[in-house]
């Protein structure tokens, strides 16, 4: 996360009233969640009863896409639009909650789903905390 904070500190204009610590944490959580969900979907595809995991795979891939996009949008500050940022964070929080719930259902049988559910909860919380800090 050091490089995320370093990039935020080098931004030539004022970032406004956004909490830089919460922003950096949310960006990192989004990218970590995207990677974890991608890996979980791939692990699900390797399971013997892959058909039983089709909803989980879809949920993982949707979450990975939304989290990656959210991390990228949160990394851009020129022409900042608070309404867009809030909407993106709300979408990310929602998809992380859904994916986390889905993976939790399989966590007793598949360790990768347990890890993924935890990562989704972390990202959901980071989005929620950043939303709260926006006022």
**Which residues of the chain fall below pLDDT 50?**
none
The reported pLDDT for the residue numbered 1 is 61
The reported pLDDT for the residue numbered 125 is 98
Distance from chain centroid for Cα 29 = 5
Task: Show the domains of the chain with their CATH numbers.
Answer: 19-134 (1.20.1270.360)
Q: pTM of the predicted model, to two decimals? A: 0.93
The reported pLDDT for the residue numbered 135 is 66
Contacting residues for 16 by C-beta, under 8 A, at least 6 apart? 80
Identify the three-state secondary structure at position 79.
coil
């Amino acid at each position: 996360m050091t490089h995320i904070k370093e990039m935020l500190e080098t931004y030539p204009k004022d970032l406004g009233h956004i909490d830089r610590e919460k922003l950096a944490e949310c960006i990192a959580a989004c990218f970590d969640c995207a990677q974890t969900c991608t890996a979980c979907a791939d692990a699900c595809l390797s399971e013997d009863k892959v058909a039983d995991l089709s909803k989980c795979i879809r949920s993982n891939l949707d979450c990975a896409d939304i989290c990656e996009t959210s991390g990228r949008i949160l990394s851009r500050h020129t022409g900042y639009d608070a309404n867009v940022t809030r909407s993106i964070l709300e979408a990310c929080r929602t998809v992380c909650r859904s994916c986390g719930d889905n993976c939790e259902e399989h966590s007793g049988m598949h360790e990768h789903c347990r890890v993924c559910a935890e990562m989704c909860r972390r990202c959901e919380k980071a989005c929620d905390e950043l939303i709260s800090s926006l006022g």
